[in-house]
A and B are shown apart, each in its own frame.
Chain A
């Protein structure tokens, strides 16, 4: 199941994440898919490994989805929070397909993050419905020689290991 993010859509997502970051003064904001792939990142990402955070957040949401199923809920639509001593994380499910990850200072009002984060998740959810269409409109595809060039690079990097 491939996901192609054309430049135009990537910019739209970045703008939405940047606005959220500004409104809640978050350290950083990430958008991942439920498979754990990092889609977009905004803010002080040099302090974290955003790819790893995306993978772990997807694991968390997957576990929560399974937990809710165990108590008889059909699917998980909500959000959840880790309150840390200096930094906290809020995860919002976006259209059951993506995860909005907000990392913020612990002194930020939780209600603000919940309110603005929830609103942003709804906005991303509406946008995600167009993902497929926007991706189809894009004419950006890897060049024909990408596969061969990658095979050469893999051989060069891993060939003697």
Chain B
């Protein structure tokens, strides 16, 4: 969290993390499509020619003054593909909260677990305690066949006590619930620390 008292602005950085093709960019695209132009910036995607995230996607949301402060939310995604490990670590730098977008399909279980370990390792390398980082789990692609029950996914990822939302990001189901929960979690935890 970054607060500029002269400008009375409060900035939060939220990072969407998860395995390749789990729907991280789709979350941001849906948020961009549904929010009013006056509260959002440009959706910028640094991607490959094959339309896959190379470095990150970025979207800024801004609300009006609340209790004398103007909140700004900077939303980032990380590239999910295994070989972009460095990019993922760098995007996590300065994160205030993480949305872990897991793919609910049974055959993606290993990729989810691998991404979770990668996230924890990167957080530790950046000096964060992974258990102290505000985290929300989003179990995405609930409309597809062959999906794992949500409680089992939580259990397999070791996310006990982590707020969890079932989603279909392509249709917007669960997208804003995830975002609201993450922002609220970050603010509550940060206020406790101040």
Contact = CB atoms under 8 A, between A and B. Distances in A.
A10 B7 contact: yes
Contacts of A157: 35, 39, 63
B4 interface: yes
B66 A39 contact: no
B143 to A, nearest CB: 19
Interface residues of B, number: 52
B58 interface: yes
Interface in B41-98: 41-42, 44, 46, 55-56, 58, 60, 63-64, 66-69, 71-72, 74, 76, 86, 90-91, 93-96
Contact of B74 (A11, A37, A150, A151): A37
Contact of B94 (A11, A36, A56): A36
B72 A51 contact: yes
Interface residues of A, number: 48
A39 B74 contact: no
B13 A37 contact: yes
B187 A150 contact: yes
Contacts of A144: 191
A159 B184 CA distance: 13
A35 interface: yes
12 contacts: A2-B2, A4-B3, A5-B2, A7-B6, A10-B7, A11-B6, A55-B44, A59-B55, A63-B90, A65-B90, A142-B191, A158-B180
Interface of B: 1-7, 10-11, 13, 34-35, 39, 41-42, 44, 46, 55-56, 58, 60, 63-64, 66-69, 71-72, 74, 76, 86, 90-91, 93-96, 127-128, 172, 176, 179-180, 183-184, 187-188, 190-191, 193-194
Interface of A: 1-7, 10-11, 14, 33-40, 49, 51-52, 55-56, 58-59, 62-63, 65-66, 138, 140-147, 149-151, 153-155, 157-159, 161
